[in-house]
Amino acid sequence: MKKLLLSLFIALIAFGFTADTARTITGTVTDKNTGAVLPGVAVRAKGTKTGVTTDGKGRYSIRVQAQVSVLTFSSIGFETLNLPIGKKTVVNAAMEQSQQALNEVAVVGHAAQKRMETTGSVMVMAPSRGSFVHKNIVYRPQETESYAGINENRFHDPLKDPLSTFSIDVDAASYSNVRRMINNGGLPEKDAVRIEEMINYFDYDYPQPAGDDPVNIITEIAAAPWNKKHKLVQIGLQGKTISTAKLPSSNLVFLIDVSGSMNDSNKLPLLVSSFKLLTDQLRKTDRVAIVVYAGNSGLVLPSTSGDQKTTIKDALNKLSAGGSTAGGAGIRLAYEVAAKNYIKGGNNRVILATDGDFNVGASSDEDMEKLIEEKRKSGVFLTVLGFGMGNLKDSKMEVLADKGNGNYAYIDNINEARKVLVNEFGGTLFTIAKDVKLQVEFNPAKVQAYRLIGYENRLLEDKDFNDDLKDAGELGSGHTVTALYEVIPVGVQSTFSASVDPLKYQQNKVSAGSNGSPELLTVKMRYKDPDGKKSKLLQEAVMDSPVSLSGSSSNFRFAAAVAEFGMLLCQSDFKQDASFAQVINLATNAMDKDKEGYRSEFLKLVRSTKLLAKDLLSIEDSKDFNEKD
């Protein structure tokens, strides 16, 4: 036996075997002169191809082999910095601004602002930390990405707030965007995490509608994973799946941003490849036109039959990026082309592909909202596809899709393009129900407090539910929508249920009828047909008959896992006993069929985030993630 082991040892040496002595180096990169953190800095192990970029807080984490002795830090406008690492595991870098760049800078600043203006021949940008203008080119680090602020939903007392009303959301951009950030070695900004979009990125095996309505309601109740004394209520909607052959004809206008900001490999080139995938799905009865915009807008391809695939792809291949971004003019032209080729009873839609960086013409969110709201009345809907990183204007694109009766997806790679434009072709482009709203009434005899998880930017006033003039979300062919409520049952002690003094002038009390009712809540839904003006009502009472978490469906457990992951990422005030280990366990036991591998990919993402949280966060911050391994 000893001879055998010795032989193996000699063989390993002969084949150049070395032990894995790789280690992880972390740190923060700052501006040497101002102390401001620097996002978007390239950090590379010198002499290798291993590299990462700093996140929005200037932090990085890189795994290097034993032979690496120097890290190289580089960023446009700063002197390249080489730092020896020795035996360190933490290497902080302070970079000096390049003197050559400073001589040609129009504006340099370190106070976060949002608006950009042009004056004469020099582009002036209100200062953003680490951003500058060099030779009339605006360079923006990752932190110039913009996200709408999220005020997390709180718990409500059903005696005071018995109704919860919101518009459905079938967008899934947040998940693929968060995935991009994590895969690039950083944790996402809190406002980039929209939990409902993460949940609805995945398909759930809900039963198809059996009646005349194109959508049905599915509900399930079990214990909340992060607090076993609380209940988790899942409300699912399933849109009727219509085969591609039976879908109405499409009149599509590809509206493509070819401005200078789209000149990265993960922007225009990926965009062109994505639209080629969509082109392959088109039929002879479908039509496509291509409009582009940069400094000016223009018609690249007149409306063309969907069977002329070579012609459409040739037009896409000729696109190149350059110039400023006349987004408003491009959108106007796209709608004009769509109106000219309008198909009655068909799917008339503009597909806007951009990084959202509109800076010439109608550029404010308010201006763009008004333009899109005006155009949707014509029956032409809007789909928005976001591309790229560094200056992604997520907040603006979400608003445009919402106001345009469409959906918003973020394309970070060609596989995501395939998911959105091939696998989910019908759901992405064909609306079967519009202005879909949900209203949930809770029984105070059963419910002490409730909280809607996510949907913060989709909340409606209770009176909006019956108002057919109030815009809401759209549901596509085969789409599923999932919403989760966390419920604190009556009698459970909770810090989230604050007591108040009795009212002097009115009474808040449980009605006699509700005391004996087995119902926990009632779900009501309103929707309109795609070309309809009057809504239809569906409703379903949900009995208070929860099952154990282990006895719940794979749909329920997986949605709960994604919600728990989202709460960890945004460091929710309500994460309670949530942990990465629990998310992994839940998702592992809810893989179901997973034909496309999306759930397996989610598991890998959670494991990567778990490692990043340990590497990138301080001890105090790590406690916020409540890790329990």
pLDDT at 517: 85
Residues of the chain with CATH 2.60.40.1230: 163-242+433-494+515-624
Tokens of 171: 């967008």
pLDDT at 17: 43
pLDDT at 616: 60
User: Average of pLDDT values for 451-460?
Assistant: 96
The CATH code of domain 258-340+351-405 reads: 3.40.50.410
Residues of the chain with CATH 3.40.50.410: 258-340+351-405
Choose the weakest-confidence range: 83-97, 234-248, 370-384.
Answer: 370-384
pLDDT in tens, 182-231: 998 888 889 999 999 999 999 999 999 998 999 999 999 999 999 999 99
pLDDT in tens, 55-103: 767 888 888 888 899 999 887 667 889 999 988 889 999 998 775 443 3
User: Average of pLDDT values for 348-365?
Assistant: 72
Q: Is 194 exposed, middle or buried (0-12, 13-18, 19+ CB in 10 A)?
A: buried
Choose the weakest-confidence range: 38-52, 110-124, 315-329, 611-625.
Answer: 110-124
Residues of the chain with CATH 2.60.40.1120: 2-95
How far is residue 303 from each of residues 289, 308, 562, measured CA to CA in Å?
4, 11, 41
The answer to whether residue 4 scores a pLDDT higher than 70 is no
Tokens of 444: 């105070």
pLDDT at 498: 67
pLDDT in tens, 245-304: 888 999 999 999 888 778 888 889 999 999 999 999 999 999 999 999 876 678 999 999
pLDDT in tens, 496-540: 876 667 777 877 777 766 667 899 999 999 999 988 999 999 999
User: Average of pLDDT values for 338-366?
Assistant: 79
The amino acid at 561: A
Number of neighbours of residue 624 by Cβ within 10 angstroms: 14
Most confident of 123-137, 352-366, 370-384: 370-384
The answer to whether residue 39 scores a pLDDT higher than 90 is no
pLDDT at 135: 35
Higher pLDDT, 141 or 341: 341
Tokens of 465: 């539910």
> Are 365 and 396 in contact, with CB atoms under 8 Å apart?
yes
pLDDT in tens, 6-15: 554 445 444 4
Of the candidates 302, 249, 254, which has an alpha carbon nearest to the alpha carbon of residue 278? 254
Higher pLDDT, 177 or 403: 177
pLDDT at 121: 28
Which residues, 6+ apart, have CB-to-CB distance to 350 below 8 Å?
Answer: 252, 253, 255, 331, 334, 335, 338, 380, 381, 382, 383, 404
What percent of the chain is predicted at pLDDT more than 90? Answer: 52
Number of neighbours of residue 439 by Cβ within 10 angstroms: 20
24-34: b or e for each residue (b if 16 or more CB lie within 10 Å)?
Answer: ebbbbbbbeee
- Roughly how many angstroms between the first and final C-alpha of the chain, as a whole number? 38
pLDDT at 176: 95
CATH topology of domain 2-95: Immunoglobulin-like (2.60.40)
**CATH superfamily placement of domain 163-242+433-494+515-624:** Gamma-adaptin ear (GAE) domain (2.60.40.1230)
Higher pLDDT, 533 or 330: 533
The arrangement of strands across the sheet holding 105-109 comes to 105-109, 131-134, 137-139
Is the pTM value of this prediction over 0.85?
A: no
Mean pLDDT for all residues in the chain:
83
* H or E stretch at 394: helix 394-403
Higher pLDDT, 468 or 31: 468
Gap between the Cα atoms of 494 and 155, Å rounded: 11
